[in-house]
Homo-oligomer: A and B are copies of this chain.
Amino acid sequence: MDIATLRANHPDHWKLATAIRALAMDAVQAANSGHPGMPMGMADVATVLYRNHLKFDASAPHWADRDRFILSAGHGSMLLYALLYLTGYEQATLDQIKSFRQWGSRMAGHPEYGHLEGIETTTGPLGQGIATSVGMAIAEKSLKARFGAKVVDHKIWVIVGDGCLMEGISQEAIGLAGKQQLDNLIVLWDNNNITIDGRVTVSDITDQRKRFEASGWTVLACDGHDPDDIDRALTAAKKAKGPVMIDCKTIIGFGAPTKADSYAVHGSALGEKELAATKEAYGWPYGPFEIPAEIKAEWEEIGARGAAARAEWEERLDALSAAKKTEFERQMDHVVSKKLATAIRAFKKAQSEAAPKVATRKASEMVLAAVNPVIPEIVGGSADLTGSNLTKTPDITDFTPEDRKGRYIRYGIREHGMAAAMNGLYLHGGVRPYGGTFFCFTDYARGAMRLSALMGVPVVYVMTHDSIGLGEDGPTHQPVEHLAICRATPNTWMFRPADVIETAEAWELALSSEKTPSVLALSRQNLPTLRKTHSNANLTAKGAYVIEEAAGKRQAILMATGSEVEIALKARDILQAQAIGTRVVSMPCMELFAAQDEAYRRRILPPGAVRVAVEAAVRQPWDRWLLGERGSERKAGFVGMEGFGASAPAERLYQEFGITPEAVAQKVVSLL
């Protein structure tokens, strides 16, 4: 539908949608930076969505049963900001819009979760939004099954662009959502046929409708500038089978006289002249950031449209038993159950007595077997490595279209999609997710793992087969740089537990975390229980601690993590036999150790002794502890990996790469 017809036939709609377009143009112009074309193109779809369909109440951004709206094409952030301002979200003021993309603004270049109420997830890295939304849709289904449709019954709406759909992660999301038949997920495709490099056809000829249908989606279509047609499609989508994709044919930069329908309007300000000409074409005689009061009032009515539904929902919530309501709110708010600490304490006590020799992946399974039954909001899963990651416990069943109470997700061979879905599961509220794959495939999931850290979403990555210790599968499957990668990433707890006790402590911390995701690097190979003296205190919480003290004068300190703590302890035996007093420090989490005060760090790593670190990985993160702490000595060494691994049985690899007690002891002796 062209502008003239739209203005003539839909004057009420037109002024509402134009308010969005004007704000987007003005804000990008003022910042002289940003993406006006997408908001201008999708304003009609968004207007119909917010006006007629989206269940929300601008005065209650955290209403648990609201529909979620995800702008997967995050560069079009002004679309979302304009909607939040116009409908009356308290934090979304006009001043914020005026400070779009400036220091301290809630309205960043891309929507940043936590900066502004109404932003459901951080988007910008393309494809993350749609993949995160799949997790939200699963969370909705899960909570509905557990608490009933009276209190949980909403949709997840997602706007995606061509960029989102070209990213591989979108296929993982489409495949997972299709398999799970998530009919609460509705994807609105901004089909404008433009990417940064030109027409989409410059790089892609995919028939997106056919592609979505191939994975079991219902596909609908509409003219993205015809309010009636949009409304028809959105109405149909809410009743359709399976997840729904609506092909919304739009024009990027709709109405810009010289720049519409071209990449020129994608990623930079229109320029004063084109902006004025566009407002002229819109019949919008208002100055920058000027929204006539009656249009603002109409938008605020839309923002209040859901208030009655919310009030009714509050009543339904109150009608639940007190215990159920409390539990619902606890889970939605991610309040950690006291049962966690109790379960972990009992587990540690039993295991420090049993002292099993098990792989830490197995230890992790044992912890989960103790925790999953008492923490109902935990939803686990694996990217098709269940029997290797040991992520499924007997008490939980698969989450499927037939069993929405299932708490185990078969993510398929989709590490990136899994990580993004985990973010969505948590962000939705009511779910604390974990998911497993091989540690090396952190590589595949990096994009979403970084967003966990950036958003402060405490999901748990269960990364097994954490070193050359995995053996024969060889270097493609053997992480050597991945500990360094996770440790270099801000706001990430990289745990590498040494035994069953540290594994339990790491899990306790990971499941109690409020703002930091955790990565658990777990061994394939069996490891002895090293902490045989039970302590209720969580020693892993300190990041590092003395696991074995030096006998006699302390001449050396060995530091290690995970499977190498055993090696360090054996090296200590060799050194002590030579009367070299050797302390062994287990350092399951460098980030938590770094967060301790200097006095504690100095107590664990006092000056005056040779320091040697042992880890079957690259040295990069260790220099700080070897050399960087006040009082440390120049005499320091590292036993680990200098390059990629190889294919052979694990014991042979440790020998060949020289990660042995003898080599560690030798290193100490040579430094003394």
Indicate whether A197 reaches chain B with its CB closer than 8 angstroms: yes
Q: Which of B109, B410, B649 contacts A647 (CB 8 A)?
A: B109
In contact, B484 and A488 (Cβ under 8 angstroms): yes
Q: Which of B103, B172, B416, B454 contacts A476 (CB 8 A)?
A: B454
Q: Could you give, for residues 94-134 of chain A, a 1 whenever the CB lies within 8 Å of some chain B CB and a 0 otherwise?
A: 00000001111100111010000000001111100000000
From 430 to 484 in chain A, residues with beta carbon under 8 angstroms from any chain B beta carbon are 440-441, 443-444, 446-447, 450-451, 453-454, 471-477, 480-481, 484
Chain B residues within an 8 Å CB radius of A475:
108, 112, 454
Indicate whether A384 reaches chain B with its CB closer than 8 angstroms: yes
Chain B residues within an 8 Å CB radius of A172:
166-168
Categorize the interface residue count of chain A. 35 or more
In contact, B166 and A443 (Cβ under 8 angstroms): no
In contact, A110 and B474 (Cβ under 8 angstroms): yes
> Assuming A205-B216, A443-B125, is B485 touching A488 (CB within 8 A)?
yes
Which of A61-69, A182-190, A623-631 is the contact stretch? A623-631
In contact, B443 and A447 (Cβ under 8 angstroms): yes
In contact, B166 and A203 (Cβ under 8 angstroms): no
CA–CA, A485 and B486, complex, Å: 9
Indicate whether A326 reaches chain B with its CB closer than 8 angstroms: no
Q: Which of B34, B204, B387, B624 contacts A175 (CB 8 A)?
A: B204
Chain B residues within an 8 Å CB radius of A196:
384-388
Choose among A213, A410, A414, A473 the residue with the greatest number of B CB atoms under 10 Å from its CB: A473
Q: Could you give, for residues 411-434 of chain A, a 1 whenever the CB lies within 8 Å of some chain B CB and a 0 otherwise?
A: 111111100000000000000000
In contact, A444 and B447 (Cβ under 8 angstroms): yes
Indicate whether A221 reaches chain B with its CB closer than 8 angstroms: no
Which of A2-10, A577-585, A638-646 is the contact stretch? A638-646
Indicate whether A71 reaches chain B with its CB closer than 8 angstroms: no
> Assuming A103-B646, A214-B206, is B490 touching A195 (CB within 8 A)?
no
From 481 to 501 in chain A, residues with beta carbon under 8 angstroms from any chain B beta carbon are 481, 484-485, 487-491
Nearest CB of chain B from residue A132's CB, rounded to whole Å: 13
Q: Which of B179, B213, B417 contacts A210 (CB 8 A)?
A: B213
In contact, A656 and B74 (Cβ under 8 angstroms): no
In contact, A178 and B206 (Cβ under 8 angstroms): yes
CA–CA, A619 and B446, complex, Å: 20
Choose among A34, A123, A491, A620 the residue with the greatest number of B CB atoms under 10 Å from its CB: A620
Nearest CB of chain B from residue A627's CB, rounded to whole Å: 4
Chain B residues within an 8 Å CB radius of A202:
398, 410, 412
CA–CA, A484 and B648, complex, Å: 29
In contact, A647 and B110 (Cβ under 8 angstroms): yes
Choose among A102, A171, A198 the residue with the greatest number of B CB atoms under 10 Å from its CB: A171
Nearest CB of chain B from residue A183's CB, rounded to whole Å: 14
CA–CA, A172 and B176, complex, Å: 17
Q: Please name 14 further chain A to chain B contacts, defined as beta carbons within 8 Å, in addition to the given A125-B441, A162-B413, A454-B475, sorted by A numbering.
A: A74-B476, A166-B413, A168-B417, A168-B444, A170-B171, A197-B382, A197-B384, A197-B386, A202-B412, A206-B214, A208-B214, A484-B620, A488-B618, A490-B643
**9 contacting pairs across A/B (C-beta < 8 A):** A102-B649, A162-B413, A168-B416, A195-B384, A203-B411, A211-B215, A444-B447, A488-B620, A491-B643
Could you tell me which A residues sit within 8 Å of B by CB distance?
31, 33-34, 74, 101-105, 108-110, 112, 122-126, 162-163, 166-172, 175-176, 178-179, 195-198, 201-208, 210-211, 213-216, 382, 384-388, 398, 410-417, 440-441, 443-444, 446-447, 450-451, 453-454, 471-477, 480-481, 484-485, 487-491, 618-621, 623-624, 626-628, 630, 634, 642-644, 646-649, 652-653, 656
Q: Which 9 A-B pairs have the closest CB atoms?
A: A168-B168, A203-B412, A623-B623, A108-B647, A171-B171, A484-B488, A103-B648, A124-B476, A210-B214
